[in-house]
Structure 1
C-alpha cells in the first residue's frame, strides 16, 4: 500500500509538471518566474517587509515576529523535514535535451519547498496583523509557490506540503507568543 501511494503521488506530481510545461510555459513566464522566485530567495521579500516594519516604532514588534517566523520556518523546513525526507528535485530527473533550467540548480533536497513554507508562514502572520492586505500577502506567497513548480525545482506535492507546514509554523508562532 505504501509503494502504491508513492506511485500515485509521483504520477500526480509528474502529470502536473507536464501540464505546466506543455500549456503554461512561454517566454513571458520564462522571464517573470525567475524574478518571482528570487523574491523568496533567503526570504528576501519578507525580510524587506520586516525591515520596513521594524523601522516604524508602532510596528516594530510585528517586524520582529516576521523575522522569528522566518527563522522557525527555515529550521523546520530546511533544517529538519528536508533532511528526513531527502526527496530529489524534479530538475535532477529532466532530460537535459528537452529541459532548460532558468535558474541556478538548487543543491538542497526538494521536499518541502522552503520558499513556499517560509512565504506562507510569514504571509499568514502578516495577514493576522494587517487583514486588509491578506490577499496581497497570500498572492505573493502563491506566486512564489507556483514559480517553484514552473521552474521545475519542486514537485507540486513539495509546494502543497510547504503551504501546510508554513501555515502550521505560523500557528505555532502565535501559540508561543500567547
Structure 2
C-alpha cells in the first residue's frame, strides 16, 4: 500500500475491496459436488424474487383473507429488487469473473454489474416479511434466503460484499414495510 493511501478514504476502500476479493476467492474455491446442483436450483428460484412471490401467494391462499399478508411481501420483494437493480447503475462494479479470468462461473453469466446483489435483496425481503407474517414457517424461510444469497458467491457471480449489501437493502425495505403496514 502506498503511503499517501494509508489512513485515507481511498485506503479504506482499497482495503475493504481487497478483503472482499480474498473472501470471495476463499469461498468460491470451496466446492462440494453434491451441493452445486442445489446452488444452481436455489439461484434460479431466487431470480427476481420468484420463489418468494409464489410462496407469499400460496401462504395467503391458505391463511385467510388478510390482504396485507400478500401485499407486504410482494411490495417488499418488488421494491428491494428495484432498488438493488437501480443501484447497479450507480456503482457499476465488475463481476468477479470479469476481474479475474481464472474464475469460471458455474452458471450463465449475468450481464448486469455486480453491486449490490438483486437475488440477495429479494431473498432478504421475502424471507424476512414471510417469517414475520408466518412465524411458524420462519425456520424454512430464513435458511432459504441465506441459501439463495450464498448461491451467488458459490456460483461465482457475486462478491460477498455484493451479497451483504443486497441483503441489507432487502432487510431495510422489509422492516419499513412491516412497520408501516403489518
Partner of residue 93, structure 1? 99
1:33-90 residue CA offsets vs partner (Å, 9 max, x unmatched):
11111110121211210221343471552122211111111121112x2222111111
Q: Is the 8 A contact 2:28 2:155 kept in 1?
A: no
CA distance in 2, matches of 1:93, 1:29: 25
TM-score (norm 2): 0.87
Q: Is the 8 A contact 2:77 2:170 kept in 1?
A: no
Matches of residues 73-112 of structure 1 in structure 2 within 5 Å?
73-79=80-86, 81-95=87-101, 98-112=102-116
Give the length in aligned residue pairs: 174
Q: Is the 8 A contact 2:39 2:155 kept in 1?
A: yes
Q: Is the 8 A contact 1:53 1:59 kept in 2?
A: no
Structure 1 or 2, whichever has the larger Rg, is: 2
Partner of residue 131, structure 1? 135
CA distance in 2, matches of 1:17, 1:28: 20
Partner of residue 120, structure 1? 124
SS at match of 2:108: coil
CA distance in 2, matches of 1:27, 1:174: 39
CA distance in 2, matches of 1:39, 1:69: 17
CA distance in 1, matches of 2:153, 2:63: 38
Partner of residue 14, structure 2? 7
- Which one of the candidate residues 12, 36, 61 is aligned to 2:42? 36
Partner of residue 146, structure 1? 150
| Residues 1:27 and 2:33 are matched in the alignment | yes
CA distance in 1, matches of 2:98, 2:70: 37
CA distance in 1, matches of 2:66, 2:108: 35
Q: Is the 8 A contact 1:37 1:144 kept in 2?
A: yes
Q: Aligned-pair distance for 1:135?
A: 2.3
1:122-153 residue CA offsets vs partner (Å, 9 max, x unmatched):
11111111112222111001001110011111
Which segments of 5 or more consecutive residues in structure 1 lack a partner in the other structure? Answer: none
Q: Aligned-pair distance for 1:94?
A: 2.5
